[in-house]
Amino acid sequence: MKHETVFERLPANSAAVAHALGAAAQSVYWLDGIQSETYEQLRGETRADLTIVGGGYTGLWTAVLAKRRNPAQRVVLLEAEQIGWAASGRNGGFAEASLTHGEENGRSRWPDEYETLDRLGRDNLDAFELDLKDLGLDAELERTGGLAVAYEPHQVRWLEDADDGVWLDEPAVKAEINSPIFLAGRWKTDDCALVHPGKLAKELARAAAELGVEIHEHSGVTGLESARPGPVRVRTARGAVVSDRVALCTNVFRPLLRRTRLMTVPVYDYVLMTEPLTSEQMAQVGWRNRQGLTDLANQFHYSRPTADNRILYGGYDAVYHVGRRVRSQYEDRPVTYERLASHFLTTFPQLEGVQFSHRWAGAVDTSTQFCAFHGLARQGRVAYASGFTGLGVGATRFAAEVMLDRLAGQATPRTQLEMVRKKPLPFPPEPLAKIGIEATKWSLDRADHREGRRNFLLRTLDRLGLGFDS
């Protein structure tokens, strides 16, 4: 029997949805108005000790940490567009301690080392916070934790079964964030920090440049050339960098190594941002402790306040386009923005009349293990990390440490992890990838409409180690 979700039982008024979206610009809020350095395009051939491909969080953390390990080495970073323009500037700004996309996902895949992964993830978030302080980076960091909420009775049972965090019954969760649909919550007070994604990317680039990293924008890499033994030549349209070590940090974009081309798929995620709320509107919502907010549905939402008292609201739809395509035209999807706006007003009906100022989307580098994988190529001279599946704000720092350990030939607790040493199963080629992804999405939606009960496909994926429960 189909169970309607609260968003179907209590849909927002269509006129209110239209009004809320009426002034929303197709623009990334986090990137608006940021004053940052620009970096010259690479021209001609040069040499480096370490070449980094990609100017998002993974590449920037690799650059910063490499120079802090060895200030004398020459590090060159190549970015195809502008620093932080892709996923690193478009996410929700949740820097989570988890390296495994949650406890259940981690325990099901790496049961023997989950406790170690949990400890390393917490250590990484602590180091993330300390690095921002030591480097003087203004990323609007708030260590407020994460609040998971239930809006259906079966989700309450899931929260009751958990044993970590602070349990919040219905009055307590509504005292934290005043939504009529919230039935219970668990607040993990120290496992998540909120940041301003755009500022984090720009500030990491500034720190890298001040440490001596040579950054080049508009310098897309077209190929890698190497012979054994010998250095690796990283080619761009107008130049090249020759170095003994290379870190590939391209994430959602087409991999430079053939072996990883089926390891990720780009899945589009969509986001809305409200105009700044008045003090009276904020008082109606509460949210005095400013936690990151998620719910327990398979098709989940995430939300957070900003420094200027806007509310970000995203998630639910996850859209894959056949052929692993990443295109700017996929970012404007009215049906998804209308659905998100309706869900927002169901969650916060007291904010009817508030308008969204921004709407945007971005592609998430999704792997079959729903968290990052790591590897080496070209006789250990090339390291890579990818597949963060929406968990990269904090985990990219850990991935940078792993790549630098491996490129240095160092055996560390990080490099010995099974999660680091083993690769996830690849996605199939087309058309099987599209068929499989759509069937899985349909099944996850069906589970949300059947009080969480998973069908044969999802149970099979669970047994194969390919399942995911948000």
230 assigned to some structural domain: yes
Res. 452 pLDDT band, cuts 50 70 90: confident
pLDDT at 467: 63
Q: Per residue in 166-180, pLDDT tens?
A: 999 999 999 999 999
Same domain, 258 and 283: no
35 assigned to some structural domain: no
Same domain, 309 and 286: yes
CB 218 within 8 A of CB 38: no
Same domain, 318 and 458: no
CB 363 within 8 A of CB 252: yes
Q: CATH number of the domain that 290 lies in? A: 3.30.9.10
Mean pLDDT throughout 403-424?
96
Q: Per residue in 270-295, pLDDT tens?
A: 999 999 999 999 999 999 999 999 99
Mean pLDDT throughout 95-116?
95
* Cα(132)–Cα(453) distance, integer angstroms: 42
Kind of pairing between the strands at 146-150 and 184-188: antiparallel
Q: Per residue in 224-283, pLDDT tens?
A: 999 888 899 999 999 999 999 999 999 999 899 999 999 999 999 999 999 999 999 999
Print the domain residue range for 20. Answer: 6-29+146-189+265-366
Query: Distance between terminal CA atoms of the chain?
Result: 23
427 assigned to some structural domain: no
Same domain, 161 and 232: no
Number of structural domains in the chain: 3
Q: How far is CA 237 from CA 45, 215, 220, in A?
A: 11, 16, 7
At 298, list the tokens: 């398979």
